[in-house]
């Protein structure tokens, strides 16, 4: 069985070494790039399974590298950066990053995010059934089952759940979800989103007050993950 490959694009040798040790010990092959240009070249040649990208690169801004990658690269990209400004995070996620961790980081959390991103499969137009843990969604019949039982969902709840499950492991920003579900004019109406997320949690979470499926990324958005 071929090992999945992770490409690290980061200008800090110590960080690259730390990441390599942990990724290799968890069964990944690792390649490294110390600049944006080198990273783009390696990505094109290798087509790795996952890219871990720093935003503070010496030659090209990380946001530009991300933008170029997303012109053709469809696999997970995880941002690992010292930049913790909310706008930087939102911009990166809206530009196509699957997740965002700030430095310093906990290795255990990083590996969990990598595993979550790896599970995320892009759904093509021919897919009729979505499955995520105890959730099964029939996209043709618009029927949702949880633990084998049919769930009664409103049209909006259904659309929101499908969007989250299709993007399992990826952080979806408030603005993205509001635009996709309600339309461009609702991008500032985060209260709409909070209400419907709360309703969904009551229907699919064992404990809606301590959600394990629909995870809040404070100030940013939401991420769907399968329960462990």
The predicted pLDDT at position 123 comes to 46
Report, as an integer, the average pLDDT of 156-161.
90
Burial of 2 (0-12, 13-18, 19+ CB in 10 A): exposed
DSSP assigned state of 103: S
Query: What is the mean predicted confidence (pLDDT) over 4-26?
Result: 94
What does the angle CA 211 – CA 217 – CA 220 come to, to the nearest 5 degrees?
A: 140
Pairwise CA distance, residues 13 & 36, whole Å: 14
Backbone dihedral angles phi then psi of residue 5, each to the nearest 5 degrees: -105, 135
Residue 83, CB-side half-sphere exposure with 13 Å CA sphere? 19
Q: What is the pTM of this model?
A: 0.66
Domains along the sequence of the chain with CATH: 5-119 (3.40.50.2300), 129-224 (1.10.10.10)
pLDDT band at 228 (very low <50, low <70, confident <90, very high): low
Q: What is the pLDDT of residues 165-184, one digit of tens each?
A: 988 888 899 988 988 888 77
Across the beta sheet with 143-146, the strand order is 129-132, 135-138, 143-146, 149-150
Strand 135-138 relative to strand 143-146: parallel, antiparallel, unpaired? Answer: antiparallel
């Amino acid at each position: 069985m071929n090992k999945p490959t992770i490409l690290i694009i980061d200008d800090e040798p110590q960080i690259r070494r730390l990441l390599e040790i942990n990724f290799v010990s968890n069964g990944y092959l690792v390649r490294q790039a110390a600049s944006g240009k080198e990273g783009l070249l390696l990505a094109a040649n290798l087509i790795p399974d996952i890219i871990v990208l720093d935003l503070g690169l010496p030659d090209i801004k990380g946001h530009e590298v991300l933008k170029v990658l997303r012109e053709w690269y469809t696999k997970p990209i995880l941002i690992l950066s010292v930049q913790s400004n909310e706008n930087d995070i939102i911009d990166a996620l809206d530009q196509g990053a699957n997740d965002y961790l700030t430095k310093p980081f906990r290795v255990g959390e990083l590996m969990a995010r990598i595993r979550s991103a790896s599970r995320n499969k892009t759904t093509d137009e021919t897919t009729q059934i979505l499955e995520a843990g105890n959730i099964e969604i029939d996209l043709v019949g618009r029927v949702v089952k949880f633990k084998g039982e049919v769930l009664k969902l409103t049209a909006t709840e259904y659309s929101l759940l499908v969007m989250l499950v299709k993007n399992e492991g990826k952080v979806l920003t408030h603005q993205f979800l509001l635009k996709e579900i309600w339309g461009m004019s609702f991008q500032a109406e985060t209260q709409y989103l909070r209400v419907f997320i709360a309703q969904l949690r009551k229907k699919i979470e064992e404990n809606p007050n301590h959600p394990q499926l629909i995870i809040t990324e404070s100030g940013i958005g939401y991420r769907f993950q399968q329960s462990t």
